[in-house]
Structure 1
Amino acid sequence: MTQNRERRPVKIDIAVCTYRRAELDQTLLSLAVLSVPSGTLVRIIVADNDVTPSARDRVDAMRSAVPFEITYVHCPASNISIARNACLDHATGDFVAFIDDDETASEDWLAELLVTADTTGAAAVLGPVRAVYPNMAPAWMRRGDFHSTLPVWVSGDIRTGYTCNALLRRSAPSLTGRRFNIALGRSGGEDTEFFAHMHKAGGRIAYAEDALVYEPVPSGRASVAWLTKRRFRMGQTHGRMLLESSAGLGRWKAIALAGAKSAYCFAAATLLAAFPVPRHRYGLRGIMHAGVVSGLFGVREIEQYGNLEEAPR
């Protein structure tokens, strides 16, 4: 006679890296009301990336409002890769989910990520990040939604990702021992590299379109200058990664192609000068391709994070 055995609970660690952000309270409150599937155990890991343990008291004050265990980790200083790696090092669950300290999760966020992970068997699952604009943001920026985050498909495949809304299957061979590059912890791009290398190692990336999180856009980011800097750095990261697999003539071909794409985008932006949304879309894409050229020439990524105005994300 076969004896029925109770199914082992699925354990999830939710990782929140933080750096001097009061918005952490709202992030934790949104996690407190998550719809958690039956048979799922949740723990929250808060990795404080400040020089001093400035978030400890804030986290302690929130414990009574959150129905899950919270593990506080102090991991200085001002390098987001150190914080992300601390979360991976302290994770013990079947999965680890990442959400930023200025985001709020929708009620079904975690459940939707888990359903997609279960149905696809993917090593990683990404969800959408919907930008919430302040009233002072330019109308064209709100219409074009330039700050929301979505995955990029190449020939029907997602080849890299981001940590502002992601779920990782810790047992996946492509993730075994994998960590974020500390050298990129102040410039950004560490998550792009992490997922790209995971994908190259055979890890599949899936997408859960209903696993929504929301991110307010601070006034300092609702500007062309911030978007320009960010797109250029994104291009630099992509160019540096292309450089890893390109040598000799292949490198020069990649530089020529990126340069041509940049020129095309700037020309299109000029022709569409009377239409703000497509003008800025083409202009920012041209800047990104210019960043690719920079990266292919080996120029180090510009530092974008590490202070209160541009806290690591």
Structure 2
Amino acid sequence: MTEAAIETPGGVRVDIAVCTFRRPELAETLRSLAAISVPNGAAIRIIVADNDVEPSAAGLVDALRTEVPFEIDYVHCPASNISIARNACLDNATGDYLAFVDDDETVSRDWLAHLLETALATGAEAVLGPVRAGYDLDAPSWMRRGDFHSTRPVWVGGEIVTGYTCNVLLDRKRPSLAGRRFNLALGRTGGEDTEFFTHMHNDGGGIAYAPDALVYEIVPEKRARFEWLARRRFRSGQTHGRLLVQTAAASGKTAEIVRAAAKSGYCLTASLLFVASPVVRSRYALRAIMHAGVVSGLFGVRELEQYGASEVAAP
């Protein structure tokens, strides 16, 4: 455990939350957290929220306690609903800040220092960092060249209007986060983080970006497929469409449907035109699928399930 160069207010406390569901990769996540640089004056605590029916991660966590120089609070919060796990982290957090990372990720040494530095510099309620994907050589070459699995924020009109939980720091003291929780109805489909941050932003919460707060994720074989990306993009579109419905009047909803359908058609046409370029073709095809998901969400079609037992069962 080393100290980072940045200064933090004396006694600042940071909880780091890891939601887990039957993933042995959790061990490497915790080992990477054990090696982070600790900003001067910061106290670190880790929360592991086990979302399995049985407390299947308890033994792994106990075995690693001697390797991790921070307190680990293990919370069993069944079952198979990621929102339950995320809310358990919010309910058990006691620090000034709460960071989220996934149980199949590893963090860079200065990850937390960069998140805190950006939070203090900007005063934002949430600070996002990038997730850099790593591919096995068995992954399709177009996928590796196009880097389709890395995660970065999207700017709209010069600002970030929503976020994700795979690499984020929350300032728990801020009013826009007070009492806010993840939607249980989205805990098996995904999109609960998009909704959470969209509503936080709509209530005045700012979202900043720390580009050097790197987190790494190895893409497993079952995700290194166009079909997995397509399901992911379609569900993401469904979430966006559902959020649009919440703010659009009846006439506005019709206009959004027409707009999303037109974008889907345009991207589909472009993917056919670039059939000889696998990276460009795939990028346009996935955007076409995402906009088709928006249409689906605007029509109120139930979102695809991605998490919990359905993810484990996926081929």
* Band of TM-score, shorter chain: over 0.9
Q: Is the 8 A contact 2:124 2:208 kept in 1?
A: yes
Q: Which residue of 2 aligns with 1:4?
A: none
In structure 1, what residue type is equivalent to 2:219?
Answer: V
Match of 1:219 among 218, 221, 224: 221
* Alpha-carbon distance in structure 1 between the residues aligned to 2:228 and 2:87: 27
| Count of equivalent residues | 305
1:109 corresponding residue in structure 2: 111
- Separation of aligned partners in 1, 2:312 and 2:306: 7
The match for 2:5 is none
Match of 1:58 in 2: 60
2:37 to 31, 35, 40: 35
Normalised by the length of structure 1, the TM-score is 0.96
Residue identity opposite 2:142 in structure 1: W
Q: Which residue of 1 aligns with 2:240?
A: 238
Aligned partner of 1:118 in structure 2 is: 120
| Residue in 1 that maps onto 2:207 | 205
Give distance in 2, aligned partners of 1:95 and 1:21: 26
Counterpart of 1:285 (choices 284, 287, 292) is 287
Query: Which ranges in structure 2 are unaligned for 5 or more consecutive residues?
Result: 1-8
Partner of 1:23: 25
8 Å contact 2:14–2:97 — kept in the other structure?
Answer: yes
The residue number in structure 2 matching 1:152 is: 154
Q: Secondary structure at the match of 2:72?
A: strand
SS in 2 for 1:225: helix
Residue from 8, 15, 19 that aligns with 1:13: 15
Q: Which one of 230, 234, 254 corresponds to residue 256 of structure 2?
A: 254
Same amino acid, percent of matched pairs = 69
Q: CA deviation at 1:310?
A: 4.4
Gaps of 5+ in 1: 1-6
Give per-residue Cα distances to partners, 1:111-155, cap 9 Å, x unaligned: 000000000000000000000111110000000000000000001
Cα distance per residue 1:246-299 (max 9 Å; x no partner): 121110000000000000000000000000001000000000000000000011
Deviation at 1:309, TM superposition (A): 4.3
- The answer to whether the Cα contact below 8 Å between 1:20 and 1:308 also exists between their aligned partners in 2 is no
Q: Once the 2 structures are TM-superposed, how far is the Cα of residue 308 of structure 1 from its aligned partner? A: 7.3
Map of 1:143 onto structure 2: 145
Residue matched to 1:45: 47
Counterparts in 2 of 1:41 and 1:89: CA distance versus 1, 3 Å = same
CA distance in 1 between counterparts of 2:221 and 2:58 reads 27
Question: C-alpha distance in 1, partners of 2:67/2:178?
Answer: 34
Q: Give the aligned residue type for 1:122.
A: A
TM-score, normalisation: structure 2: 0.96
Residue 94 (structure 1) aligned with residue 96 (structure 2) = yes
Secondary structure at the residue paired with 1:38? strand
2:194 corresponds to which residue?
192
CA distance in 1, matches of 2:212, 2:47: 23
Higher mean alpha-carbon deviation, 186-195 vs 300-309, is at: 300-309
Work out whether residues 10 and 42 of structure 2, in 8 Å CA contact, stay in contact via their aligned partners in 1: no
Q: Which has the higher strand share?
A: 2
Amino acid at match of 1:154: V
Amino acid corresponding to residue 209 of structure 2 in structure 1:
Y
Q: Give the AA of the match of 1:278.
A: V
Amino acid at match of 1:180: F
